[in-house]
A and B are shown apart, each in its own frame.
Chain A
Amino acid sequence: MARSLLLSAAFALVLGTATELRGAEMVWSGLVIAENVAQPHPIPPELTGIERPLKRLFGYNQFQVIGQSRKALQTGQEDWLATSKFFGLHVDARGESQAGYVLNLKLYKEKELLLETDAKLSKRSPLLIKGPQVGGGQLLLVLVVQ
């Protein structure tokens, strides 16, 4: 009986502290080209979690990751770059709260700044940004806390 109680207490303690412990979280940033093609490739593994909203919101059936970066956030003050041949997505983390990470995002086309935004990226909610049309498709920016 006592041992059961002890084990239960230990288990409850572990569960309780587990909710408070927050190790480094990964933020995945991607530059994605979305297109409509006759025979689409399978969705890249990085996007499987958001395949449905990607297809539904933007109306494309094929997604190709042309640039990406995966950054572990320890302090919430890191900055990083996801690049393709012509685009660069600069992400500057400017703090962390319970709700998520405050990020400044800048999308560059070569040296030209196309778009800048500040966002509070929630740990449970990806951010999708519709960029310019590229050929017959669209550039999308995707940020996900993993």
Chain B
Amino acid sequence: MKTFEEKWTAWLDGQLSDRELAQFEALLPDKAAAEAEKTEAKKLGAFLKRELGARALTNEEFFSHQLRERIARERAGESRKSGGRRIEVSTWWTIRRLLWTGTASLVVFLVLAIFVMRDKNPAEQSQYLTQILNARVDPVVSPNATISMFETKEDRVTVLWTEGLQSLPADYAAK
């Protein structure tokens, strides 16, 4: 604790150690006035607790019901995505298809190697994915945002992935 404000708050909340308490109270120009302030702050706290502490959620069960529906929709969306992929994996790659695809890939590779790759600068091959050079978010607007980036060679896309940007209402999806 360094600032007067921090010490005052801790004193008011009874969070100072004995030594800190003695030191702090020695600094107070008018202890009686300070004690009166403390009493008043405690009155304020009790008042807020009494008046605001009982804000009720009307129709609690409907709240939970609505939330359950929403989570169920989220889960349905996720399982559709992963289930579809599972089906794709389990039904497409038969042994015959694997062999056929392997042979075709080899042929394609040879063709590319002979007729296409010879014309290309080797340096360019390593550059075929988009590169993120740097990225930043406004820390005032989005103090909790994080950025990461990755490339998927399979799809040949580069992704800049942000988390913690301020969420916006649906109105912002307008064209």
Contact check, B162 vs A99: say whether CB atoms are below 8 A apart: no
* Chain B positions 137 through 148: 1 when the CB is less than 8 Å from some CB of chain A, otherwise 0: 110011000000
Q: Which of A67, A109, A128 is B175 in contact with, Cβ under 8 Å?
A: A67
- The answer to whether A50 and B138 touch across the interface, beta carbons within 8 angstroms, is no
Whether A99 and B157, one on each chain, are in contact in the complex, defined by CB atoms closer than 8 angstroms, is no
User: Which chain A positions have C-beta within 8 A of B58?
Assistant: none
Contacts of B80 in A (CB 8 A): 61
Q: Which of A104-126 contact B (CB under 8 A)?
A: 109, 112-122, 124-126
The dominant DSSP class at the A interface is: strand
Contact B172 A134 (CB under 8 A): yes
Top 10 A-B residue pairs of the complex, sorted by shortest distance between their CB atoms: A135-B170, A99-B127, A36-B77, A53-B155, A117-B135, A132-B165, A85-B174, A118-B133, A133-B167, A125-B130
Q: How many residues of A are counted as interface, with CB atoms below 8 angstroms from the partner's CB atoms?
A: 52
Total B residues in contact with A, Cβ cutoff 8 Å:
46
A24 within 8 A of B: no
Q: How many A-B residue pairs have CB under 8 A?
A: 161
User: Is the Cβ of B172 less than 8 Å from the Cβ of A109?
Assistant: yes
Q: List 9 A-B contacts (CB under 8 A).
A: A53-B157, A57-B157, A85-B174, A99-B128, A112-B138, A114-B142, A117-B133, A117-B160, A120-B130
B162: chain A residues at CB < 8 Å are 115, 129-132
A2 to B148, CA, bound (A): 60
A69 interfacial contact with B, CB 8 Å: no
93-148 of chain B: CB within 8 A of chain A: 119, 121, 123-124, 127-138, 141-142
B128 partner, pick from A52, A122, A139, beta carbons under 8 A: A122
Interface presence of B78 (CB below 8 A): yes
Determine if A128 and B133 form an interchain contact, defined as CB atoms under 8 angstroms apart: no
